[in-house]
Amino acid sequence: MTVTYEPPREMLRLEGVSKRFPGVKALSNIDLSVRQGEVHALLGENGAGKSTLMKILGGIHQADEGRIVIDGTECHFAGYGDAIAAGIGIIFQEFSLVPYLNAVENIFLGRYRTNRFGLMDQAAMQREARAVFDELGVQIDLGVPICQLSVAQQQFVEIGKALSLKARLLVLDEPTATLTPNEAEHLFKVMRALRAKGVAMIFISHHLDEIFEVCDRISVLRDGANAGHADVAATTVDALVEMMVGRRIEQSFPPKPQPAPNGRKVLEVPGIQLVKDGPVNRFDLHAGEILGFAGLVGSGRTELALGMMGADRAHRKTVLRNGQPVRLDDPTQALAHGIGLLPESRKVEGLITDFTIRFNISLNNLGRHRRAGVVDTTSEKRAADELSRRVGVKAPGIDTRVATLSGGNQQKVVIARWLGHDCEVLIFDEPTRGIDVGAKAEIYQLMRELTRQGKSILMISSELPEIVGLCDRVAVFSGGAIVATLSGDAINAGEIMRHATSSSPSLPSSSGSPS
């Protein structure tokens, strides 16, 4: 008896795809092949062209040149509807769900099931939605508005919606960027189950460890061109990084100063209660120091930082700035006291995306360029240009609209603005979310450079490697309170996780040198 081996069938082939936007050649001659039942990683630095390529596959943009071939047949997509009809489902970073409708209403939006009287058939839709989620192995409360579900659950609703539309190829654009490690693990489980059913997936992520956990093959884009393809089993992180950035990244983290900065206290928070009768949190920040806020998502890190600077409600707080008591009732007062915040959700809180890079960088920095009561636009433009280059924003120029930038480059614009501002204390909330490996290393170098110039940084991060690699001290959060402050050798992943997962928050204990 002869056993014939059938290699997995090619489901999608993109051939010679090119795309130009005004002033930017976003894609040049891209080839990509995805097989049935495989998870195919699409990698590249910020602005490499990943989202543009996926928007072409989704019919949102049209290629200037090239072909889309699905199951051997060339397809032309005039809009997303055509791509859906061809079996493509795209889960974008910003979900396309209606927040005040529930999961069932979102899944069947625009194609409600009706009964024989022509009335909406709620029961049928509920049944169908339930069946999709059962197949995915996820629990979703079908009765509540989408905005009351967690980000991870909303993502599963998006996936469920695509599957109910009979998607055979799912594109997941940075799906783990806003998930906790447990939620990401759950997503990978769902992805493996879908793969076993023959669904093909294109997975975009800046987390290379995830690529090795869940993907089969990889295609890398660099500056809008193919930089290579590889089998996951036959490649390494270093090889992928080199393919992405075209050079080796020797050292991500700059050396920490020895001994750790322990001089003047630029900020002291002797007591802050986020809720009445809740735990009292204390921390302080030394000149030239990077203090990390670590802990699981929802452990209170951002709430404490925002509460401290008046952007969020704090029940009771006292704040000393350079030893003097100050009132911080809103972020403007915080700014007046030299405290700047780089927010977590940059598109909502950090940028005016319809305006240019220059405007966004100069925003609230204009006073620095005032001469005799008038803004010196030459000086303002020069500063914006220099800051944009310093953080490596990839764009045709500083007069480019921020809305047309890739996600990572938008983040760099926010960072550039704060670098231009003379804040002595900078709060960076998830500064490298959505940022590629090369730019991450540059941002770490920049942060350390800033502290060398006397600035102090409070960094909230869910990425343990950057907390461990960059911070001089680390406050670990659990259940809405700081449960430990670590320094020296105590700053390691094991110790941080041990405190972060401790169930009963207590007042700060100190490992290493106290503060």
Ligand X SMILES: Nc1ncnc2c1ncn2[C@@H]1O[C@H](COP(=O)(O)OP(=O)(O)OP(=O)(O)O)[C@@H](O)[C@H]1O
Q: Measured from the CB atom, is 22 or 118 closer to ligand X? A: 22
Q: Which amino acid is at 164?
A: S
Does residue 482 bind ligand X (CB under 6 A)?
no
Would you tell me the crossing angle of helices 122-136 and 151-164 to the nearest 10 degrees? 110
Q: Which two tokens stand for residue 470?
A: 């960059």
Task: Count the Cβ atoms, other than its own, within 10 Å of residue 62.
Answer: 12
Helical (H) or strand (E) element with 135: helix 122-136
Q: Measured from the CB atom, is 412 or 448 closer to ligand X? A: 412
With CB under 6 A as the contact rule, the residue among 11, 34, 44, 362 that binds ligand X is 44
Size of the site for ligand X (CB under 6 A): 19
Cβ atoms of 26 and 19 closer than 8 Å: yes
Q: Measured from the CB atom, is 302 or 400 closer to ligand X? A: 400
Residue whose entry in the numeric block shows the structure tokens 């509460």: 307
- Backbone torsions φ then ψ of 158, nearest 5 degrees: -60, -45
Least distance (Å) between residue 509 CB and ligand X = 40
Round the CA-based radius of gyration of the chain to a whole number and report it.
Answer: 25
Q: Is the dihedral of CA 337, 341, 347, 351 positive or negative?
A: positive
Hey, which residues between 389 and 408 contact ligand X (CB under 6 A)?
394-395, 404-408
Q: Measured from the CB atom, is 94 or 489 closer to ligand X? A: 94
Candidates 49-57, 238-246, 299-307, 490-498 — which segment interacts with ligand X by CB under 6 A? Answer: 49-57
Of the candidates 445, 349, 347, the residue with the CA atom closest to the CA atom of residue 390 = 445
Does residue 353 bind ligand X (CB under 6 A)?
no
With CB under 6 A as the contact rule, the residue among 11, 34, 52, 70 that binds ligand X is 52
Least distance (Å) between residue 431 CB and ligand X = 14
Counting every residue written for the chain, the total comes to 515
Of the candidates 468, 47, 36, the residue with the CA atom closest to the CA atom of residue 224 = 47
Measured between alpha carbons, how far is residue 29 from residues 15, 224, 308, 413 in Å?
7, 9, 51, 29
With CB under 6 A as the contact rule, the residue among 11, 12, 26, 437 that binds ligand X is 26
Does residue 42 bind ligand X (CB under 6 A)?
no
Q: Measured from the CB atom, is 406 or 485 closer to ligand X? A: 406
Does residue 50 bind ligand X (CB under 6 A)?
yes
Does residue 273 bind ligand X (CB under 6 A)?
no
Measured between alpha carbons, how far is residue 95 from residues 121, 155, 242, 381, 402 in Å?
26, 8, 32, 35, 20
Of the candidates 317, 289, 283, the residue with the CA atom closest to the CA atom of residue 476 = 283
Does residue 17 bind ligand X (CB under 6 A)?
no
Q: Measured from the CB atom, is 132 or 402 closer to ligand X? A: 402
Q: Measured from the CB atom, is 46 or 106 closer to ligand X? A: 46
DSSP string, 191-243: HHHHHHTT-EEEEE-S-HHHHHHH-SEEEEEETTEEEEEEEGGG--HHHHHHH
Q: Measured from the CB atom, is 27 or 500 closer to ligand X? A: 27
Does residue 319 bind ligand X (CB under 6 A)?
no
With CB under 6 A as the contact rule, the residue among 11, 12, 47, 391 that binds ligand X is 47
Does residue 439 bind ligand X (CB under 6 A)?
no
Does residue 155 bind ligand X (CB under 6 A)?
no
- The residue ranges that bind ligand X (CB under 6 A) are 21, 24, 26, 44, 46-52, 394-395, 404-409
